[in-house]
Structure 1
Amino acid sequence: MFRISSKDLLINEEIRDKEVRLVGTDGEQLGVVSIAAAQQMADEKSLDLVKIAPQAVPPVCKIMDYGKYKFEQAKREKEAKKNQKVIEIKEVRLSLNIDTNDFNTKVNRAIKFLEDGDKVKAALRFRGREMAHPELGTTIMQRFTDAVSEYGSVEKQPKMEGRSMVMFISAKPATNTKGGNKNA
């Protein structure tokens, strides 16, 4: 039998120590016993002997149903994974001569991304002679920041990266404004 991960605990015959501190099924301390006696106690109860604290002196072993333990652990990990939110970076591309309606569409997309809890990367690409006027790009980025300021805050200020000006906006923490003041 081989172990896939080093996180796995040693069980039954894999434990090579001469004596161990034994913990019973209900968490009661059974004292320091030889490995043979500990294995015999586990076999009598038709359970496994699991080494739970290998760094202790002597190592601590517990009598438990290892299959049930692994199942419960996998269930807890799956539940924890289900509850966490992965933050993605969504990109909104602007241009130096963007029209008002196009600008509003880009702002609305960015607001939707921020409401979903994602970060927004606003990128403004300079073409040809536009490179001579980075201050115009800064004003468009400032307009964009003001338009989405209610939903997000600037994480990284606008900065030139090659022919593009890039800015990152992160979502503000969700606040419940619908409920009103509960103390009133």
Structure 2
Amino acid sequence: MKKKTDRVRVNERITSTPIRVIDQNGEQIGILPVNEALARARAVNLDLVEIAPNGQPPVCRIMDFGKFKYQQAKKEKQAKKKQHTVQMRAMRYRPKTDEHDYQFKTRHVREFLEQGSKVKVFVMYTGREMARIELGRKILDRVVEDLQEICTIGQEPKLEGRRLTMVLNPKLQNVKAKQKRTENAKDQDQPVSSQAVQEDGDG
């Protein structure tokens, strides 16, 4: 997939004429033949870049195209960082899950939420257990109570065949706080350079 800057026409690739020209300071120069605009760009060691090809006439700007490409790539990278793809994880309980198993599974649900994932929590029933749906509901209620500081309910408990299912959403402020703590811990774990050790020893 081509980047946006790869589709931009620059210098001799600009075929439209005349064009509306903006100089390197953002000032309107006016409408010029493309060869004259290109000569002006060359005179200040810059490029002529078509920024609005559909304009009447097309609009071009005198600028450092290499610097422009770098800034655009930086913006795209920052935009990707802001995009947060939420994963859906799952955790299964049984109506008669014992305490050790409950704690083990709930600890994993907590980890998923702290990583920013949604979690589908469900209780799986066997034949006779379908007569005691409330046992599964108690487990799901307990999970919500134990994790209420880091999650919200995305879907209330719902019976789907032999499953009683609910969805927990992470509280984003907790996810960001967790990520910040992780980043700070990484910074503190950075190895000290040999030069710094030597300087410290000299002191």
* TM surpasses 0.5: yes
Give distance in 2, aligned partners of 1:54 and 1:127: 66
- Which runs of 5 or more residues in structure 2 are unaligned? 178-203
**What is the aligned partner in structure 2 of residue 110 from structure 1?**
109
Query: Deviations 1:47-72 (Å, cap 9, x if unpaired)?
Result: 22111122332221001121221122
Give distance in 2, aligned partners of 1:45 and 1:34: 18
Q: 1:5: Cα distance to partner?
A: 4.7
**What is the aligned partner in structure 2 of residue 137 from structure 1?**
136
- The amino acid that maps onto 2:133 is P
- The amino acid that maps onto 2:109 is A
Q: 1:6: Cα distance to partner?
A: 5.9
Aligned length: 174
**What is the aligned partner in structure 1 of residue 93 from structure 2?**
94
Pick the structure with more helix per residue: 2
Give distance in 2, aligned partners of 1:5 and 1:101: 52
Q: Which moved more, 1:123-132 or 1:142-151?
A: 123-132
Q: 1:83: Cα distance to partner?
A: 5.4
Does residue 78 (structure 1) correspond to residue 68 (structure 2)? The answer is no
RMSD across aligned C-alpha pairs, in angstroms?
2.6
Q: Secondary structure at the match of 1:78?
A: helix
TM-score, length basis structure 2: 0.73
TM-score, length basis structure 1: 0.79
Give distance in 2, aligned partners of 1:6 and 1:161: 46
Give distance in 1, aligned partners of 2:17 and 2:172: 55
**What is the aligned partner in structure 1 of residue 9 from structure 2?**
10
- Identical positions, percent: 37
Q: 1:122: Cα distance to partner?
A: 0.6
- The amino acid that maps onto 2:23 is G
- The amino acid that maps onto 1:16 is T
Does residue 126 (structure 1) correspond to residue 125 (structure 2)? The answer is yes
**What is the aligned partner in structure 1 of residue 155 from structure 2?**
156
Pick the structure with more strand per residue: 1
- Which runs of 5 or more residues in structure 1 are unaligned? 177-184
Give distance in 2, aligned partners of 1:162 and 1:55: 57
Give distance in 1, aligned partners of 2:131 and 2:55: 68
**What is the aligned partner in structure 2 of residue 165 from structure 1?**
164
**What is the aligned partner in structure 2 of residue 33 from structure 1?**
32
